[in-house]
Amino acid sequence: MMKLKKLLDKLDLLLSPERRQRDVKKRKLKELLGNMKLHERELDSKFENSSDEEERAGLHLKKEILHQQRKKGVRLLRELKRGKE
């Protein structure tokens, strides 16, 4: 049997449109961050396998930009988990 707190959380989720939106936003953000991490790893492997200096510089720049964007997303996800918006 479910505990009272769990039941109240489920009821709040059903009745609160703000919380529902926040949960959907968290799920989508988490999925996006996972995809960004995979892409960052792909760029890493391309960087390691590349011998052309110009190509390596471009890959490094792309990786750094992606890493910074992912850091921003992780910060936002933490804030959403804490209940802030």
Is the pLDDT score of 84 beyond 70?
Answer: no
Q: Angle CA(35)–CA(43)–CA(54) in degrees, nearest 5?
A: 150
Number of H helices, E strands in the chain: 3, 0
Q: What is the dihedral of CA 50, 52, 57, 59, to 10 degrees?
A: -30
Asked whether 77 and 33 are in contact (CB, 8 A), the reply is yes
List the domain boundaries for the chain.
55-85
Q: Tens digit of pLDDT for each residue in 2-60?
A: 688 888 877 877 788 887 888 889 999 999 999 999 999 999 999 999 999 999 999 99
